[in-house]
Amino acid sequence: MGFDLDKWYAQKMQGEVILKYMGDVSSDKITEALEGIESNLNLKNEINKTRKKVYNVFVECIQNLFHHVDVPPVSAHVELVPKFGIIILARDNSFYRISTGNFVRLDKVNIIKDRIDQVNSLSDEEVKMLYREILGNEGITSKGGGGLGMLDIVRKTGNKLEYALYPFDDEYVFFSLDVYIS
C-alpha cells in the first residue's frame, strides 16, 4: 500500500484548524490565504508578538511552496495545476502548527533532505550566523527565494523542522513538513 493522501490530510486536520488550502499555490491564492488568517478572531486576540510570528512564518511556508512545487502526478488524483500544494494552519493546545504537503520529483529529494537536515543540525547561534552569512554574501537564487526560507523558519520558531518524504511512485515523493510555533 502506497502513500495515502486522504489519511495524511485527515491527520493534519487535527486540532483547531484556522486555515486549510489545497490546490494551486498562485500569488492570488496566497493573498487570499493571508487575508483569511488575518481575519481569524482567535489569532486577532493573540498578543502582537505571537500573531506576527505566526503570520510571518506562514508567509514563508506558503511562499516556499510557491517557489518550489511541481505539477503533481496524474495518479495522485488531485487538481492538475502548475503549483499544487497543501497548507494547513492549526492550533494544537499551546502551539500553532503549519503543515505543508506537496509532490516532488525524485531528483529533488536529496536536495530537500540535505537542506533540512543541515538546518536542523545547527544551534540557535549557528542558525543566526549562517543566516547573516547568506544574507550578506549570496545573490537571489534562481527561484527568487533567497535561499533563506528554511533558516528563517527555524530561527523565528526556535524549533526544528519536522518532515517526512513518502514514496509515491517511480517519479514522485510526497513531501510533508510540520512547523511548530510555541
Partner 1 sequence: METIIREGSPKTPYVRLDGEKGLIEIKGRSIPENSVEFYKPLIDWLDKYGTTPLESTDVNVQLEYFNTSSSKCILDIFKKLELIYKKGSKVQINWYYEEDDEDMFEAGEDYQSIINIPFSMIEMEE
Q: How far is the CB of 83 from partner 1 (least distance, A)?
A: 11
Q: CA angle 23-117-108, nearest 5°?
A: 50
Residue with Cβ nearer partner 1 (6 or 139): 139
Part in contact with partner 1 (CB under 8 A); list of ranges 10-18, 113-121, 135-143, 164-172? 135-143
Instruction: State which of positions 21-50 bind partner 1 (CB under 8 A).
Output: 27, 30-31, 34-35, 47-49
Closest CA to 104 of 123, 83, 78: 83
Q: How far is the CB of 91 from partner 1 (least distance, A)?
A: 20
| 16 backbone φψ class: left, alpha, beta (φ>0; ψ -120 to 50) | beta
Question: At which residue does the C-alpha cell 549562517 appear?
Answer: 130
Closest CA to 9 of 26, 21, 1: 21
The residues of the shown chain that bind partner 1, judged by CB under 8 A, are 27, 30-31, 34-35, 47-49, 52-53, 55-56, 59-60, 63, 66-67, 128, 131-132, 135-136, 139-140, 144-146, 148-149, 152, 155-156
